[in-house]
Amino acid sequence: MAGNWKMYKTPAEGKTFVRSLAQRIGTVEHAVVVVAPPFTGLSAAVDAALGTSVSVAAQNVFWDEQGAFTGEISPPMLTSLGVRWVIIGHSERRLLFGETDQGVARKVRAALDHGLLPILCVGETEEEREAGLTEERLASQVSKGLADVRPDEAQLLTLAYEPVWAIGTGKTATPEIAQEAISFVRGRVAAALDPEAAQVIRILYGGSVKPDNIGELMVQADIDGALVGGASLDVESFAAIVEYPR
Ligand code: PEP
């Protein structure tokens, strides 16, 4: 269960949030709980998360280790803070900041090379869904995003299927639509890597996940967890998602 805070929360707010969340959820055995603060809040969040069931993700990373790349943050910079996870290719990065599938693949490779666990986001836009292009788009994002990954690395990888039309809109994909798309994504992982990798890889659903819809999403056969935006900004609602009815 991963919470993407996007461009919200100061370091102090993030620290308070992680402390409260950790206290609220206690020891969690059925799920891995991850929060993704902005870069400026990573260090405070890692400190607050030490010794708890919460771990910390960055929302982006660059592929080189160092160099003249103004404004970028490298994998070793993240690992040196104690960050374990990184979200790569979120639709906001792709649509607002021009990230390409090729860049996403380089970031996934760089993350793995430095011991960061990538959460690779894929998903179709509303126009693509209406034009019947959902599968084509997902197939292309999966095969290109995983272009430099080996099958034996599947256990280190998490995919997140996030239909762009469901992000921050309050329009959740129905559990059936989410299941159908995630099952398709799993099939494309089998093609890109191998069938065993497709079973091992974790695939999350993201898009307006809330405490009242997480249960019906999690019973779907291929949904292993959720990537949560808005509802991860509040301790009570994110805790309720982590503790979804099982
Ligand atoms: C997201 O940002 O990845 C997301 C799914 O946002 P929300 O839950 O707000 O739709």
Q: How far is the CA of 180 from the centre of ligand 1 (A)?
A: 19
Answer yes or no: are the C-beta atoms of 45 and 79 closer than 8 Å: no
Backbone angles phi, psi at 129, to 5 degrees: -65, -45
Give which of 138, 98, 89 is closest to 118, Cα–Cα.
89
Q: Where are the domains of the chain?
A: 2-242
Digits of tens for pLDDT over the chain (246 positions)?
A: 999 999 999 999 999 999 999 999 999 999 999 999 999 999 999 999 999 999 999 999 999 999 999 999 999 999 999 999 999 999 999 999 999 999 999 999 999 999 999 999 999 999 999 999 999 999 999 999 999 999 999 999 999 999 999 998 888 889 999 999 999 999 999 999 999 999 999 999 999 999 999 999 999 999 999 999 999 999 999 999 999 998
Backbone angles phi, psi at 59, to 5 degrees: -95, -5
Q: How far is the CA of 196 from the centre of ligand 1 (A)?
A: 29
Say how far residue 185 (Cα) sits from the centre of its chain. Answer: 15
Q: Which of 99, 124, 128, 162 is catalytic?
A: 162
Strands (E) in 59-188, as ranges, are 85-88, 117-122, 158-161
Answer yes or no: are the C-beta atoms of 224 and 182 closer than 8 Å: no
Our answer to whether residue 136 is catalytic in this structure is no
Say how far residue 161 (Cα) sits from the centre of its chain. Answer: 9
β-sheet bridge partners, residue 86: 58, 118
Our answer to whether residue 216 is catalytic in this structure is no
Q: Which atom of ligand 1 is nearest to the CA of 206?
A: 5
Say whether domain 2-242 belongs to CATH 3.40.50.920. Answer: no
